[in-house]
Structure 1
Amino acid sequence: MKIALFGYGKMGQMIERTALDRDHTIVAKIDIDSQEIDFSNIDVAIDFSLPEAAFGNISKCLDNNTPIISGTTGWLNKYDDAVTLCKEKQGAFIYASNFSLGVNIFFELNAHLSKMMQGLEQYQVAIEEIHHTQKLDAPSGTAITLAEDVIKNSHYNAWKLNQKEQGHIPITSKRIGSTPGTHTVAYNSLVDDITIKHTAHNRAGFAQGAVIAAEWIIGKTGVFTMRDVLNLG
C-alpha cells in the first residue's frame, strides 16, 4: 500500500516503521496545513495529528476519495460531520480512540462486564487512566470510550474528570513520566472490588493496529470501527 501520514510525531514515526516492516510504502508525511498533497499517489491515509487539524485532514481525504484512518483524539465534536461527509462522498473512514488490538479486546470485556453488573447498584464504578506527560488531552479517548460503554448499561448518565458527582462516573487522569497508557475500570463496594486493567508496554501495539486497519479498509465503503476490523460484532 501507498500510505500518507497526517502527523509525524512519535506515533507517526512508529506507524512508519510498522508499515515499512509490513512491506508498505510511505508516500507523504504531512505536518502542516499548507503542504501540497498528491492524492492520486495515495492508497490510504493514517491521521495521528492534532485535534484542531484532524477534521480538516479527514475532510481532504474524503473529498479526494482516499480512505482515512484516524486515531487523533479531542476533535469528536466534529465526528458526526465526518460521518455525514463520508456518506455523501461514498468514502471509507475509521475512527478509533485506541487502535491497540489488546485495548479493543479490553473494550469488549468492559462492555460485557457492565452488562453483568446491571442492577448491582451497591458497586460504584471508577475509571483511571495514566499516560505520559506529553499527552495533551485528558481524559484519554480510551477512557471516554470505556465510560460511555458502561453508561449504556448502567444507571450512570455521564462521566466527570477528576471529581465525583452523583450519577456520574469519575475518571481520574494522571500524567506520569513516559507511561504509554494504563487503563483501569473498577467496581467498588463495601464488601469487595472487581477490577479489569489494560497496560500498554509501548506504543508498538497502537501503530500495529492502525496499519492493520489501513490494510483492512482498502476497497471498502462506509464508516467503520475497530470492531469491524477485528470481526468482534
Structure 2
Amino acid sequence: MKIALLGYGRMGKMIEKIAISRNHEIIAKVDVNNSDDVAITKADVAIDFSIPSAAFNNIKHCLENNVPVISGTTGWLDKYNEAVSICNENKGAFIYASNFSLGVNVFFELNEYLAKMMKNLSQYKVSMEEIHHTQKQDAPSGTAITLAEGIIKNTENTGWKLEEAQENEIPITALREPEVPGTHSISYKSDVDTIDIKHTAHNREGFALGAVIAAEWIQRKTGVFSMKDVLNLG
C-alpha cells in the first residue's frame, strides 16, 4: 500500500516503522511544518494521528478525494457525525478508533461484558483511572471515554465526569506522568470487596500495529467502520 501519514510525531514515526516492516510505502508525511495535498490524493490510505484542531480537515480532505482514512486522533469528536456524512456522501471508507491497540479493543469488549454482569449489583460503585504521558493534550483520554460509554450503555449510569461525579455518573481520574504510553483501570467497589480490570500498554507499538492492520483491512471497502469490524469482535 501507499500510505499518507497525517501527523508525524511519535505515533506517526512508529506507524512508519511498522508499515515499512510490512512492505508498505510511505508517500507523504504531513505535520505543522509540511503539507502535501497532492501526494495525499495519490495514497491508497491515509493514517491520521495529528492534533485535534487538524484532524477533521485532514479526514474531510481525504474522503473528498477518495482516499480511505484511518483516524486515531482524539479531541475532535464534536464533528464526528459530520465526518460520517462526508464519508457516506462520497462513498468513502473511514475508521475512527479512540485506541487501535488490539489488546485495548479486546479490553473494550471485556469492559462491556463485565458492565452487563454488574448492572443489577447496585452495591458496587464503578470508577475509572487513566494514566498517560505528559504531552497528551486531552483529558480524559479518548480510550477512557470509550470505556465509560461502554459502561453507560450496559448499566444504570447516565454519564461520566472528571474527578468528583454525581449519582449515576462514572468518576474518571486522569493522571499525566512522564513516558507512560497508556494505562486504563476500571474498579467496581463495594463495602466488602473490589473488582478491578486493567490494561497497561508497554509501548506505542501496539497502537501503531493496530492502525496499520486497520489500513490493510479497509482496502476496497466502502462505509464507516470500527475496530470491532477489523477484528471481528462481538
TM-score by length of 2: 0.97
Q: CA deviation at 1:37?
A: 1.8
* Aligned counterparts, 1:205-216, within 5 A: 205-216=206-217
Give the SS at the match of 1:137. coil
Amino acid at match of 2:117: M
Count of residue pairs the alignment pairs up:
233
State the Cα deviation string for residues 11-69 of structure 1 (Å, max 9, x = none).
00000001001000000001139823224421000000000100000000000000000
Amino acid at match of 1:47: D
**Structure 1 match to 2:172:** 171
Give the SS at the match of 1:212. helix
* Aligned counterparts, 1:73-222, within 5 A: 73-222=74-223
Q: CA deviation at 1:88?
A: 0.6
How far apart in 1 are the matches of 2:219 and 2:140?
A: 32
Gaps of 5+ in 1: none
Equivalent residues of 2:29, 2:35 under 8 A apart: no
**Structure 2 match to 1:42:** 43
Q: Relative to structure 2, which stretch is displaced further, 209-218 or 163-172?
A: 163-172
Q: Relative to structure 2, which stretch is displaced further, 120-129 or 31-40?
A: 31-40
Equivalent residues of 2:41, 2:62 under 8 A apart: no
Gaps of 5+ in 2: none
Amino acid at match of 1:156: N
From the superposition, tell whether residues 222 and 123 of structure 1 become closer, same or farther in structure 2 (CA, over 3 Å): same
From the superposition, tell whether residues 222 and 159 of structure 1 become closer, same or farther in structure 2 (CA, over 3 Å): same
Q: Relative to structure 2, which stretch is displaced further, 75-84 or 160-169?
A: 160-169
**Structure 2 match to 1:20:** 20
Q: Relative to structure 2, which stretch is displaced further, 58-67 or 40-49?
A: 40-49
State the Cα deviation string for residues 151-176 of structure 1 (Å, max 9, x = none).
01111100001222212100000001
**Structure 2 match to 1:29:** 29
How far apart in 1 are the matches of 2:119 and 2:171?
A: 18
How far apart in 1 are the matches of 2:162 and 2:83?
A: 26
Q: Quote the sequence identity (%).
A: 65
Equivalent residues of 2:97, 2:226 under 8 A apart: yes
